[in-house]
Amino acid sequence: MSFTSDGSLFTWCTNQRTSVAESKKYETICKIDDPSISQIRLSPKGTYLSTWAQYKAKENVQESCNLHIWNVKTGTIVKSFIQKKQIGWHPQWSDDEKLCARNVNNEVHFFEDAKFDTISKKIFIQKVAYFSLAPGSAPYHVACFVPGTKGQPSFVRLFKYPNFEGSNSVIAQKSFFKAERTDFYWNKTGKDCIFLTSVDVDKSGMSYYGELNLYYASVKGETAKIKLGKDGPVYSVQWSPNSLEFCVVYGFMPAKATIFNLKCEPVLDFDAAPRNEVTYSPVGDNILDVMLFIKKFSILKFSCNIEVWDLKLKKQITKFKAQDSTLIQWSYNGEYILTATTSPRLRIGNGYRVWHYTGSLLVEVSLESNEELYDIKWKPVPEGTYKPEPTTFTPVPGIKSSIPEASKLVYRPPGAQGKQASFKLHEEEAPKSAEKDAVMTKNKKKNLARKAKKEIEKSTENEESANANESIKIEATYSTELTGDPEKDKKIKSVLKKLSQIDKLKQDQAAGKPLELNQLEKIKKAGELEEELANLQLS
């Protein structure tokens, strides 16, 4: 489901139909009776609705089209395309809807004024894997990522529409190695862009996340690599509403959070803590107060701690826990925070809560045990509707949560229960006698070596047996249903393999075995992998 940027229209799809409603009285204005639609996207002003369904080849080319652009008012199809890949499926629109672009066979095609029968312009530079149309009004800017091949570096180039040809067409370029794909982050003005590059495998073996790097480019031609103060993955990147600063959460746990200016210089460092996401309040500028919250999850429990900061005073306003939260959003007036427990990430205890930014709980709604909450959103408002208010550090009156708090007791194995927390391993073993400490004879050494060899052989047999039963265990825990799509099934098998490895690590951890930092990070990805598996099997 989604809203238009101003909140005037709302759209959602089910396994029966896709609907669009105006959001004053939520009266339906458009219905599309197509149960195969799984992805939807409204254009910025809500004039057009893009829908995508799983591609199925047919004899008739028109019947094979699975990406449709609809006129919302008339409910008719404006244009249909064949779009095989789900990643990057949706056309990208300029904010005024005068320009529409989509990636086709490693090219970027541009259409003006919704005239889809005529390609106005093309970008063709080797093989464009990803592109991003900047927000904001004309002149329009676009960033393109081309992965490197045969020892050549990857690169990102910035263009100004419609100047795509000639030696002076590139307004900014950054080249780099170790990049298979990239995510683009534009600020509100559409003048500055951060791109996060990544590869699946870190050859150094230091990170489960692969290898990630962060770069900056502007339409003025400036480029830079953003130097982070700690090794490890990049968890979250977000621009400030003032478009002059951005915050990055990165590094092996405990992670760092740093705010950078447009010169990519750090201007504020937060102390290391187990954070993994940053979100700015929607209202704020470089003069008035700006708040952000950072959420973090524990390794074994799906808890969520929220920190709220006043960036003008560089002071923490509050810190509170929102148990089992899978979703967190600021309200558009910057006063409230929405947290929710949603399916399929967590299928029990679904519901939502609304907090004041000082940490007071104001609203709590819990669903029945047989109900699931898939998504929840604040209704957007037109830009400039709300103005920043002075920050308060005094908690407002609130209510007490009816959800019981998770136990704060440290996990203790069954053999350690009932003992003092300060017990030590092997403390009850009898002390070794002086005779055992004496030099062993040659025969004793041989006997011990023989016993050790038998133990190793027995351990190897047990390990092989465990590996043989691994597939049985994973089937008992997760759905191993395949889709019939070779590319998607390959991803499903990869996710199942990672989940199996995580389950093994959890067993080792429960048994008291110490884990490395990268193994702890791997465990932390279990929820995301389960969600990815569910999405792959549903689509």
Query: Which residue type, as a one-letter code, is found at position 331?
Result: S
- Which of the two residues, 209 and 272, has the higher pLDDT score? 272
Residue 120 burial (10 A CB sphere; 0-12, 13-18, 19+): middle
Tokens of 383: 């830009």
pLDDT of the residue at 286? 37
Tell me the C-alpha distance between 94 and 137, whole Å: 7
Q: Nearest-CA neighbor of 391 among 353, 357, 351, 433? A: 357
DSSP string, 463-508: HHHHHHTHHHHHHHHS-----S-HHHHHHHHHHHHHHHHHHHHHHH
Tell me the C-alpha distance between 230 and 270, whole Å: 12
- Which of the two residues, 202 and 529, has the higher pLDDT score? 529
CA 471 to chain centre: 28
Q: 517: which DSSP letter?
A: H
Beta-bridged to residue 126, according to DSSP, are none
- Contacts of residue 227, defined as CB under 8 A and 6 or more positions apart, other chains included, come to 264
- Which of the two residues, 295 and 430, has the higher pLDDT score? 295
- Give the mean pLDDT of 312-335: 87
* Percent of the chain whose predicted confidence (pLDDT) is above 90: 33
The structure tokens 């409230």 sit at 336
Query: Which residue type, as a one-letter code, is found at position 106?
Result: N
Tell me the C-alpha distance between 285 and 13, whole Å: 36
Integer angstrom CA distances of residue 356 from 225, 310, 319, 329, 359: 37, 14, 12, 12, 6
- Give the mean pLDDT of 422-432: 44
- The CATH number assigned to the domain with range 233-383 reads 2.130.10.10
Query: Which residue type, as a one-letter code, is found at position 187?
Result: N
Q: 202 and 234 in contact (C-beta within 8 Å)?
A: no
pLDDT per residue as tens digits for the range 289-320: 344 555 544 444 456 888 888 888 888 888 88
Tell me the C-alpha distance between 469 and 157, whole Å: 49
SS3 assignment, position 252:
coil
Question: Which of these CATH numbers, 3.30.70.3270, 3.40.640.10, 2.130.10.10, 3.100.10.10, describes 91-225?
Answer: 2.130.10.10
- Give the mean pLDDT of 455-459: 64
Q: 341 and 326 in contact (C-beta within 8 Å)?
A: yes
pLDDT of the residue at 246? 93
- Contacts of residue 518, defined as CB under 8 A and 6 or more positions apart, other chains included, come to 205, 206, 207, 208, 252
- Give the mean pLDDT of 101-114: 90
- Give the mean pLDDT of 122-148: 88
- Which of the two residues, 74 and 60, has the higher pLDDT score? 74
The structure tokens 């002075």 sit at 390
- In a 13 Å sphere around the CA of 118, the CA atoms on its Cβ side amount to 6
> Would the pLDDT of 502 be above 50?
yes
DSSP string, 96-148: TSSEEEEEETTEEEEEETT-TTS--EEE-SS---EEEEPSSSSSPEEEEEE--
Tell me the C-alpha distance between 294 and 317, whole Å: 12
Mean pLDDT (the chain, rounded): 81
Q: How many helices (DSSP H) and strands (DSSP E) are in the chain? A: 7, 32
* Percent of the chain whose predicted confidence (pLDDT) is above 70: 80
Strands 2-3, 48-53: pairing kind: unpaired
Q: 368 and 352 in contact (C-beta within 8 Å)?
A: no
- The CATH number assigned to the domain with range 1-88 reads 2.40.10
The alpha carbons of the chain give a radius of gyration, in whole angstroms, of 27
Q: What are phi and psi of 195, to 5 degrees?
A: -130, 130
Q: What are phi and psi of 234, to 5 degrees?
A: -105, 115
> Would the pLDDT of 284 be above 90?
no
Same fold, 1-88 and 233-383: no
Q: 12: which DSSP letter?
A: E
- Give the mean pLDDT of 255-268: 92
Highest-pLDDT range among 219-223, 323-327, 517-521: 219-223
Residue 271 burial (10 A CB sphere; 0-12, 13-18, 19+): exposed
pLDDT per residue as tens digits for the range 12-70: 998 889 999 998 888 999 999 989 999 999 999 999 999 999 888 887 777 788 899 99
pLDDT of the residue at 297? 47
Integer angstrom CA distances of residue 462 from 213, 456, 497, 503: 41, 10, 20, 18
H/E element, 520: helix 517-524
Q: At what angle do helices 442-468 and 470-477 cross, to 10 degrees?
A: 40
- Which pTM value belongs to this model? 0.69
Beta-bridged to residue 116, according to DSSP, are none
Tell me the C-alpha distance between 299 and 403, whole Å: 21
- Contacts of residue 450, defined as CB under 8 A and 6 or more positions apart, other chains included, come to none
pLDDT of the residue at 272? 87
H/E element, 50: strand 48-53
Tell me the C-alpha distance between 494 and 536, whole Å: 12
Torsion of CA 305, 495, 234, 198, to 10 degrees: -170
Q: 175 and 153 in contact (C-beta within 8 Å)?
A: yes
Listed by start position, the domains of the chain span 1-88, 91-225, 233-383, 488-538
